[in-house]
Amino acid sequence: MTVILRTVAELREVVRGWKAEGHVVGVVPTMGALHDGHLSLARRAKAECGRVITTIFVNPKQFNNPDDLKKYPRTEEADAALLRWVGVEVVFCPAPEEVYPQGFVTTVSVGGVSQPLEGELRPGHFDGVATVVAKLFGMTQADRGYFGQKDWQQLQVVQRLVADLNMAVTVVGCETVRDPDGLAMSSRNVRLTAAGRQKAPALYAAMLAAARDFRSGVPEQEAMARATAAVMAEGFESVEYIELRDAETLGPVTDADRPIRMLAAAWLDGVRLIDNIAV
Ligand code: AMP
């Protein structure tokens, strides 16, 4: 049975019971408007944990752009139906006042890995993410937290947060789920026009081509420039970055023996798309 809970007090009560019975508790934090990417996290959590909580909370603190927050899709009933289908035990949908009550003044700020790329382009975004993730771990008392590689930098921020604050949570990073044409699934994809949706897979295609070029000896700058040119030629409005980074620190690639990640952000149809791949 799937229950929807809205208060921290009710959630704690339920989790206390589960823990007394010795269950491993998993949490899948989301902002709702669920798609197969989110559901893959929930299914993995179900496979690995005795009890699973999916949280649905459009966290105002992680939106640097008020218009993006206003336009963020909200589909709670459909989301709950999907989660019932997957069999998660609890859907936690708190109101903003439940998460940030009067008097709330704490910010969790992860240094280093939060700073480049999304950190530069979306000021305050990762403080909002780290704060809400720390709170969700505290509220749910989860043993395992499930996050998508789709938001690669976010996943590194969460790993760092848990390590630095000795949180008793195992962070599990799950593969990016894509539409058949390669576009990474995202709640924001519904905001693309039909024409934009046709063009959108060009980002992933250009990234794959750039990774092949780089591996076959094309210099980093040139490979990335070719990818940017390919995406712009497809009709994207702009490319914020297509870059190679150290997969864990998100710093520049200095040691070719460490894992390398290609990360990208680009605008199409007034929608900001992000993606990343292993190189
Ligand atoms: P969001 O609702 O966008 O905050 O995403 C909630 C979680 O789902 C995050 O850990 C995301 O990384 C993950 N996620 C979003 N899209 C995908 C995807 N296409 N594949 C895998 N995980 C995803």
For residue 219, the CA-to-ligand 1 centroid distance in Å is: 32
**Please, which pLDDT band fits residue 230 given cuts at 50, 70 and 90?**
very high
Residues with CB under 6 A from ligand 1: 30-31, 37-38, 40-41, 147-148, 150-151, 174, 176-177, 184-187
Atom of ligand 1 nearest to the CA of 176: 20
Catalytic residue, from 23, 35, 38, 125: name it: 38
Residue nearest to atom 18 of ligand 1 (CA): 37
E strands, the chain, where?
A: 3-5, 25-30, 51-56, 90-92, 144-148, 170-174, 238-246, 260-268, 271-278
For residue 38, the CA-to-ligand 1 centroid distance in Å is: 5
Residue nearest to atom 22 of ligand 1 (CA): 148
Is the pTM here over 0.95, yes or no? yes
For residue 102, the CA-to-ligand 1 centroid distance in Å is: 29
Measured distance CA(61)–CA(69) in Å, rounded: 10
Residue nearest to atom 13 of ligand 1 (CA): 148
Closest CA to 130 of 143, 149, 103, 112: 112
The per-residue pLDDT for 271 is 96
Atom of ligand 1 nearest to the CA of 146: 10
**Please, which pLDDT band fits residue 256 given cuts at 50, 70 and 90?**
confident
pLDDT > 90? residue 240: yes
3-state SS string for 202-258: HHHHHHHHHHHHHHCCCCHHHHHHHHHHHHHHCCCCEEEEEEEEECCCCCCCCCCCC
pLDDT > 90? residue 97: yes
Residue nearest to atom 19 of ligand 1 (CA): 185
The per-residue pLDDT for 204 is 98
For residue 188, the CA-to-ligand 1 centroid distance in Å is: 11
Q: How far apart are the first and last CA of the chain?
A: 42
Atom of ligand 1 nearest to the CA of 32: 2
The per-residue pLDDT for 255 is 86
Average pLDDT, rounded, for the chain? 97
53-90 residue pLDDT tens: 999 999 999 999 999 999 999 999 999 999 999 999 99
Measured distance CA(223)–CA(8) in Å, rounded: 49
Residue nearest to atom 5 of ligand 1 (CA): 30
193-221 residue pLDDT tens: 999 999 999 999 999 999 999 999 999 99
Instruction: Say whether 35 is catalytic.
Output: no
Average pLDDT over residues 5-17: 98
Q: Please, what is the Cα angle at 259 between 156 and 131, to 5 degrees?
A: 5
**Please, which pLDDT band fits residue 145 given cuts at 50, 70 and 90?**
very high
Q: Which of 36, 41, 273 to probe ligand 1 with, by most ligand atoms within 8 A of CB?
A: 41
Average pLDDT over residues 94-99: 98
Q: Which of 151, 171, 187 to probe ligand 1 with, by most ligand atoms within 8 A of CB?
A: 151
